[in-house]
Structure 1
Amino acid sequence: MAAEQDPLLRPSTSYDDQSFTSRTGSKLSANVGPLDISRSTRYAILAGLWSATFLSALNTTLVATLIPSISSEFNKSNEASWLGTSYLLAVCTFTPLYGRLCNVMGRRGANQLAVLAAFLGTVACGLSKNMEMLVAARFLSGMGGGGIMTTTTIILSDMYSMRSRGLAQGFSSVFSGLGMGLGGPLGGLVSDQFGWRWAFIMQLPLFALSLTLTTCNLVYATPGMGRSAKDVLKRIDWGGSITLLIAVGSFLVFLSVKFSEDLPWSDPLVVVSLILGIAFLVAFILVELCVSPEPVLSPALLRQSVPVVVGISNFLVAMCNFSVMYFFPMWFQTVALTGASTAGLHLLPNSMAMSCGSLFAGYMMHRTGRYKVINIMFGFFPFVGSLLITFIHENSGPLQSWLSIIPLGFGNAVVLQTTLVALLAHLPDDLMAVGTGFGQVFRWLGQVSGVAVSSALFQSKLDSELRKRIYGPDAAGIINSVRHSVTLAARLPPELQRAVRDSYAVALHDVFVFATCSTLAAYIVRLPIPGKTLEHGPRKNQDHAENSVSATGDDRNELNIHQDDEQPARMLPDIESTKHTTDTMSSTSTDGGRN
């Protein structure tokens, strides 16, 4: 059995003597490494990964326009935020595990575990009979959704050099951006035409396609499959995952009962949930630093400035993104009184902008070998976009209503691409998998925090504004009904409807201001990230020494693949086949040249 420090993917002569059947029916030897697979096999792997990536991203925003239909059926609009937070809670809790699972189960095993969990959760969503079952099903779906994103990023890191990785991730983010952008409008359209359950059921064939393609083609990941189930279970950070789950879950319960349910501070549920959140957050930190043999948040990365700064930036960017994406469609439904499908379509420009931003950032990094200048220039766009959104009002024209969100999507896509490459460029090759999971966990924590905090802010402000505008003996009942059903506003008498629409407008404006502050803070936090020239080939030993820290053997068991300059990885199509003049500069640079 391999030692903890042994790389899981060895030179081709040391692979186990196994063979597998490709999608074309031919036998593929396990000797084939990630850089040696054929172009058709590579494309089949990418198709399998990116179809699952699209669905994972789709599910993060899908419920934004399904909430009115679901809340009308179950009459629990004030609990509807749990449809988003339960998914994101599972994602941020279980995502870090997949960096480790990629090493102990193999890339294929970890990816298929994630896809299967997402598949089963989606089936359960479509068959849910009440809000509680639907929330639980969303949690199961989230257990796989985050893993899909992480394993896809790690597999792309296997197959492409550092300089081409940005472009490969750019293509990947196109599908992620399309999923996030289409989740709202597609969910609203399907809900209006066929019912909200079909928004989940329609995803199942694409999940099946992803599983089929990776099963038949992702064969280079098999060296990790030889470990026993006992070895796999021993190396998982159960303590860190459980304490993180309880900590984040407790904080979500606190925000829900205090602000959505409006319980007093003296209520036992409010006090207990807050205390549990703080206690288990402290426990999580202690477990990660002192107990866990392979922590989900590696102390080796916490001792480096670049991973920490990238993590904080990811948190704030995701908080801004999801505050906007979950409440932007609601503005059009409750203030402009449009249908669910039309409200969801207002996220489509954001989706298109994210896709363009991802490709732009990947192409520029591949061409120039630099990321810092791109980050600084275009990283200010999200602040501009979110600021424009705060100025939207009931009488805004179509240009302001439809295009204000474009700078937000484009800029944040550039930021996420460049910060990921910045993180990986400052890590040795053997910390790539854990580093990827490290960055992702902050991003997912930001997403769940964005939905939870903005929901608490929204509900608190909405209640306050409704009480200012609605009077009379039936005021409490009307306010309670409005808060429980988003669609009720369109059916109210004109005078009462005016009061409800104005209240929603003020509450949603505060959410957008919160998002604007988050993205401005993220821009300031990112400024100290140092520039570094990206290389096509393997990084030099000096570079490794500069970025390595005194990690334990458990932090050094990650993938260690070196690529020769003479044998670049093939891309979409063969993006490394032509070297630019900047390659000479990057291939000889060992001092981390600044942008």
Structure 2
Amino acid sequence: MQSYKHRRWLVLGSIMLAMFLAAIEATIVSTAMPSIVSDLGGFSLYSWVFSAYLLTNAATVLMFGRLSDVFGRKPIFMIGISLFLAGAMLCALAPSMEVLIGARLIQGLGAGALMPIATTIVGDLYTKEERAKIQGYLSSVWGISAVTGPALGGFFVDVLSWPYVFWMNVPLGLLALTGILLFFKEDVSKEKRSVDIAGSLWVVTTVSTMMIILVEGGVGIPWASWTMASMITVSLAGAIIFFFHERQAADPMMPMDLWNIRSIRFANLTSLTTGMILIGVSSYLPAFVQGVMEESATVAGFTLTTMSIGWPIAATVAGRLILKIGFRPTALSGGISLMIGSGLFSILTPEKGPWFAALGSLFIGIGMGLSTTSFIVSIQNSVTWKKRGIATATNMFMRTIGSAIGAALLGGLLNSRIARAIENSSLPASFDVDSTNALLRAESRQALGPQELQVLQNGLTSGLQLVYIGLFSLAVLSFLLILQLPKKED
């Protein structure tokens, strides 16, 4: 018994390390992105570095969740770590933004297996009473990543170079892979079950076209064009076909009966909106701090680091609160904190400085820690082992889809606002959205003339303020959805 408990802690440690790798991507890459785009060029592709990662993550997370229910958690989890590490190495070697985006697609594939299966393994290893506490530990990984991500990102950019942001994944990933290989033992049911490959293909089609529409609409592709009309048609048709296909499939990738459980339905819908909030803060706050406030990468990292002060503490506290007051009041507390944090961002101006931005990040972290822990515990307590993998993956899918839509939609809003500011100015025709690169480094910023600097900073400021107003609206919607959670679990 003692040996089993000891092995269980070693497995948990390996899982948390693997989750840390996937979680840290949001903050460490965000902090390094201004330097990456300054080095490789292509500011108009800025949001695609995040969108590409989220696209393959979202497109495969359900399939990996289903595969883990069929073939077991261990082999699928190990495949996920391997893909993630391969993508990270390619990112570090990328000579251009296009190659970097391609490598991020591979990295996202691995992340699609890492996050949901890690959480599912914990659901398998621990009892219902233990899960709330342990899920709090897992949720705190996001907070720890928010501490170390910006700090490491700022260090690598200011002292070393941005490829180290990706190289650091290799030794940690190999350590996690070894731990799972040696210590995780599982008994897999021999029952024959099919894998819904067709459903996964429809998800890829729908999500990828939708993201291209949101990022390039009005910027790279005119709204009033046959190309845009065709893409909108493909995206809508893919979503409709996926829905009806899943209703008829013998072993669907996303069992529609899960949505009949009230706690799962509203937890998933809220995860969609909170995913958009999270990506909106982590993706664009460093650009605001460096490009508009004219601070260093380290200071930009600090404004995201404060998210960690709230996230791990809130996640740990959430595990105890769930046992005392239930998952609904705990999730509601998280919703209130998200509204406070996004409200602060909606009134953020360059004059308020990094500390004000850091305060907004703190409340966002508290909100995410309380809500995500509540959702996962509630979902896993609502289903059996055979559906625990796909139920957990569905929630991760909704949050990832939210982040993917958020990265694409918010990136499109930002690019279009910058483009409009440049068009309405008297700057030379050579200036475009990519010219914003110049704001992200002190040397190139100083080379700009007074008018050029003012136009670009005003465009970036107004674009990011529009993004943050959108985040506040999403936080209000999240709170309204949390209110719909049942007072007692189904």
TM-score range, shorter chain: over 0.9
Taking the aligned partners of 2:50 and 2:141, their CA distance within structure 1 comes to 20
- Deviation string 1:443-466 (CA, Å, 9 cap, x unpaired) is 111111111111011111122233
Taking the aligned partners of 2:42 and 2:68, their CA distance within structure 1 comes to 39
- What is the letter of the counterpart of residue 519 of structure 1? A
Question: Rg bigger for which structure?
Answer: 1
Deviation for aligned residue 1:65: 2.5
1:37–1:307 distance in 2 versus 1, CA, 3 Å: farther
Deviation for aligned residue 1:422: 2.4
Partner residue, 2:460: 504
C-alpha contact 1:425 1:532 (8 A) present in aligned 2? no
Please tell me whether residue 364 in structure 1 is matched to residue 350 in structure 2.
no
Partner residue, 1:477: 430
- What is the letter of the counterpart of residue 101 of structure 1? L
C-alpha contact 1:76 1:485 (8 A) present in aligned 2? no
Structure 2 gaps, min length 5: none
Please tell me whether residue 81 in structure 1 is matched to residue 81 in structure 2.
no
Partner residue, 1:316: 273
Taking the aligned partners of 2:194 and 2:309, their CA distance within structure 1 comes to 40
Deviation for aligned residue 1:267: 3.5
- What is the letter of the counterpart of residue 471 of structure 1? S
Partner residue, 2:156: 190
Q: Which runs of structure 2 are paired with 1:275-424 in the superposition (5 Å)?
A: 275-290=233-248, 292-366=249-323, 368=324, 370-397=326-353, 399-424=355-380
Taking the aligned partners of 2:329 and 2:109, their CA distance within structure 1 comes to 36
Superposition TM-score, scaled by structure 2 size: 0.94
* Partner SS for 2:350: coil
1:491–1:152 distance in 2 versus 1, CA, 3 Å: same
Taking the aligned partners of 1:496 and 1:335, their CA distance within structure 2 comes to 13
Deviation for aligned residue 1:480: 4.3
Instruction: Identify the structure with the greater helix proportion.
Output: 2
C-alpha contact 1:309 1:529 (8 A) present in aligned 2? yes
- Deviation string 1:542-579 (CA, Å, 9 cap, x unpaired) is xxxxx5xxxxxxxxxxxxxxxxxxxxxxxxxxxxxxxx
Deviation for aligned residue 1:486: 4.7
The counterpart of 1:142, out of the listed 108, 111, 116, is 108
C-alpha contact 1:68 1:485 (8 A) present in aligned 2? no
Q: Which runs of structure 2 are paired with 1:3-42 in the superposition (5 Å)?
A: 38-42=4-8
1:399–1:61 distance in 2 versus 1, CA, 3 Å: closer
Taking the aligned partners of 1:259 and 1:205, their CA distance within structure 2 comes to 42
Q: Percent identity?
A: 22
Taking the aligned partners of 2:446 and 2:67, their CA distance within structure 1 comes to 49
- What is the letter of the counterpart of residue 426 of structure 2? Y
1:188–1:271 distance in 2 versus 1, CA, 3 Å: farther
Partner residue, 2:228: 270
Structure 1 gaps, min length 5: 1-34, 534-546, 548-595
* Partner SS for 2:229: helix
- What is the letter of the counterpart of residue 288 of structure 1? E
- Deviation string 1:408-430 (CA, Å, 9 cap, x unpaired) is 11012101111222223333454
1:301–1:485 distance in 2 versus 1, CA, 3 Å: farther
Deviation for aligned residue 1:479: 3.4
Taking the aligned partners of 1:62 and 1:311, their CA distance within structure 2 comes to 26
Taking the aligned partners of 2:353 and 2:51, their CA distance within structure 1 comes to 33
- Deviation string 1:7-39 (CA, Å, 9 cap, x unpaired) is xxxxxxxxxxxxxxxxxxxxxxxxxxxx88522
- What is the letter of the counterpart of residue 223 of structure 1? V
Deviation for aligned residue 1:181: 4.7
Number of residue pairs aligned between Structure 1 and Structure 2: 487
C-alpha contact 2:300 2:354 (8 A) present in aligned 1? no
C-alpha RMSD of matched pairs (Å): 2.1
C-alpha contact 1:489 1:501 (8 A) present in aligned 2? no
C-alpha contact 2:276 2:403 (8 A) present in aligned 1? yes
C-alpha contact 2:151 2:305 (8 A) present in aligned 1? yes
The counterpart of 2:91, out of the listed 117, 125, 128, is 125
1:481–1:97 distance in 2 versus 1, CA, 3 Å: closer
C-alpha contact 2:303 2:355 (8 A) present in aligned 1? no
Please tell me whether residue 258 in structure 1 is matched to residue 213 in structure 2.
no
Taking the aligned partners of 2:239 and 2:382, their CA distance within structure 1 comes to 28
Please tell me whether residue 223 in structure 1 is matched to residue 188 in structure 2.
yes
Please tell me whether residue 98 in structure 1 is matched to residue 51 in structure 2.
no
C-alpha contact 1:392 1:401 (8 A) present in aligned 2? yes
Taking the aligned partners of 2:28 and 2:354, their CA distance within structure 1 comes to 24
Taking the aligned partners of 2:305 and 2:226, their CA distance within structure 1 comes to 43
* Partner SS for 1:66: helix
* Partner SS for 2:426: coil
- Once structures 1 and 2 are overlaid, which stretch shifts more, 243-252 or 267-276? 267-276
Taking the aligned partners of 1:383 and 1:369, their CA distance within structure 2 comes to 21
* Partner SS for 2:94: coil
- What is the letter of the counterpart of residue 205 of structure 2? I
C-alpha contact 1:54 1:179 (8 A) present in aligned 2? yes
1:364–1:37 distance in 2 versus 1, CA, 3 Å: farther
- What is the letter of the counterpart of residue 159 of structure 1? L
- Once structures 1 and 2 are overlaid, which stretch shifts more, 203-212 or 131-140? 131-140
Taking the aligned partners of 1:377 and 1:200, their CA distance within structure 2 comes to 35
C-alpha contact 2:43 2:434 (8 A) present in aligned 1? no
Deviation for aligned residue 1:98: 2.4
- Deviation string 1:50-96 (CA, Å, 9 cap, x unpaired) is 11100011123332223222223332110121110010111111111
